[in-house]
Structure 1
Amino acid sequence: MSTHAIRPARELLLKEYRGVLSTLSKSMPGFPFGSVVPYCLDEQGRPLLLISRIAQHTHNLQQDRKCSLLVGEREAEDVQAVGRLTVMAEARKLVESAAIEAAADRYYRYFPDASDYHKAHDFDFWVLEPVRHRYIGGFGAIHWLDQVTLANPFAGAVEASMIAHMNSDHASAIAHYVELCGLPRRVPAELVGIDSEGLHLRIGHAVHWLAFPSICNTPTQVREALVLLARADRWPVYEMNRG
């Protein structure tokens, strides 16, 4: 296993917010069934999905939990020359009220429109528990990875508090992050997620992940990173040996 590929594989999973979910067909035994799904990462860094009970992929998962999620770099001109990641996993529906509440708090920040159809239809949260990963970083850069996920040390009340503070009091800093990274400015960006390696901004319906210059293990380190970025004239390159 190539350990140097773990971080770029996880970054790809963080940078994207939709992928192809492949399940084993119930109606056509032996055939894979692919469908496009949005996702965010849960507190353990695993893909979190909200799917309908009447969807074909849900019926498939109820019969066989084995599945995969294929994620590729968005808007790539040559899909074979850029990164893509296949997460082979076992899907598990969340049933405990505390787990469902935590999933809803997180998922609806990323996809606020989902709360409406979740209330109107029968949808459930599912988490993909990774078994193995296949990461391709471009031509010839092919790796099998057993462990890619990384728990979010801020998930829950701490993350929610930091996000609320930034969105209410530091909109100008968020706008500066957008400008530094050349992201779309057609509508104001909102901070929706913070992990030890970076932050997620939602601009309209799109989600963008921006890496911190170094690993942040405490809220104080996050605050220092956000202040540094608010004053920067370019987005710093991640420093592997710090944090």
Structure 2
Amino acid sequence: MLDGPVPADQSEVMDSRPTQPSPDRDQPLSGGDGADGGRDLPLMARRMLRRADRAALATLQGDNPRPYVSLVGIATDTDGAPLLLLSRLAEHTRALMASPLASLLIDGTAGFVNPQEGPRLSLQGRILPIDCDHALRRFLARHPGAALYAGFADFSVHRMTVERIHWVGGFGRARWFAPVPALEGEARDLWEKAEPGIIAAVNDERDGIRAALAARNGGGRGKLWPLVAVAPDGCDLARAGRPGGGGKSGVVRVAFPVPLSDPDKVIPTLGELAGL
């Protein structure tokens, strides 16, 4: 399920300068604090979550609840909600069946000599199973090796409804805020319907765009990096390893400068980002 490290883009996540923690009053994701960089924090946090392929999952276990932490693979839905593919035989899934309350820790500290100077996100909310082919496809796009067991009877996609986010950007740089989805309602339906066509068009006809995007974002040649996921705030290129875990794989996240309002703008935007 965990195909390879995809560290957060440290240049992006470390540029913001959030205010001191205020746990008693969540701030909306759409708000900001002007000069201190708070206005950019929601976008930076979302980009960090989009790039992540794994997280620490904290659940409450047992009739006399005790905290339990495990490692899970994650992806994101079109609106940015975390997706997990879990077996009901696993300890964390049994805990979620008893209580959906959970937390995910996204670690962006790779490359920091002192990890406490690096960025991380703690997401609080509820994780519940969903029956959604679109969500499963997005998870498998991020974790292609999971296709080996995704159809087993005990596995199902779970989606986290995020209620609160705690961002830590380093020493003395932390903030709580309330989530706002990347898109909702009809807009979400529009993007979900448009995604397969965009992916097919880019993968079938635009090798040059994929090659340039992969090279500019830390990947390799375009043929090894097909486009696998599309959302208003960016796209994913993925290189799959061999089934069974052999070979390296990974994901290149291509973040748009600003979220797009129209799926028709995706391909022109990718061309601009690729310099073509």
Q: Same fold judged by TM-score > 0.5?
A: yes
- In the superposition, relative to structure 1, how do residues 223 and 187 fare at CA in structure 2: closer, same or farther (>3 Å)? closer
Moved more, 178-187 or 42-51: 178-187
Looking at structure 1, the residues matched to 222 and 214 of structure 2 have their Cα atoms a distance apart, in angstroms, of 11
Matched, 1:50 2:85: yes
Q: Which runs of 5+ in 2 are unaligned?
A: 1-26, 33-38, 241-248
Aligned to 1:65: 100
How far 1:52 sits from its partner (Å)? 0.5
- In the superposition, relative to structure 1, how do residues 74 and 166 fare at CA in structure 2: closer, same or farther (>3 Å)? farther
Aligned to 2:118: 82
Looking at structure 2, the residues matched to 12 and 113 of structure 1 have their Cα atoms a distance apart, in angstroms, of 22
Matched length: 227
How far 1:186 sits from its partner (Å)? 10
RMSD: 2.1
Aligned to 2:182: 150
Matched, 1:172 2:204: no
- In the superposition, relative to structure 1, how do residues 196 and 43 fare at CA in structure 2: closer, same or farther (>3 Å)? closer
| Paired residues of 2:226 and 2:239 also in contact (CA < 8 A) | yes
Looking at structure 1, the residues matched to 74 and 191 of structure 2 have their Cα atoms a distance apart, in angstroms, of 16
Looking at structure 2, the residues matched to 206 and 223 of structure 1 have their Cα atoms a distance apart, in angstroms, of 22
Deviations 1:166-220 (A, max 9, x none): 1111122111111122335597112111211211111233223121233311123
| Paired residues of 1:134 and 1:145 also in contact (CA < 8 A) | yes
TM-score by length of 1: 0.85
Looking at structure 1, the residues matched to 222 and 71 of structure 2 have their Cα atoms a distance apart, in angstroms, of 26
Aligned to 1:207: 251
SS at the partner of 2:170? coil
Residue identity in the other structure for 1:159: E
| Paired residues of 1:48 and 1:127 also in contact (CA < 8 A) | yes
Query: In percent, how many aligned pairs have the same letter?
Result: 27
Aligned to 1:237: none
SS at the partner of 1:215? coil
Residue identity in the other structure for 2:146: A
Looking at structure 1, the residues matched to 252 and 169 of structure 2 have their Cα atoms a distance apart, in angstroms, of 19
TM-score by length of 2: 0.75
Aligned to 1:132: 164
How far 1:150 sits from its partner (Å)? 1.5
Q: Which runs of 5+ in 1 are unaligned?
A: 233-243
Residue identity in the other structure for 1:134: H
How far 1:159 sits from its partner (Å)? 0.9
Aligned to 1:108: 140
Looking at structure 2, the residues matched to 26 and 185 of structure 1 have their Cα atoms a distance apart, in angstroms, of 49
Looking at structure 2, the residues matched to 74 and 50 of structure 1 have their Cα atoms a distance apart, in angstroms, of 24
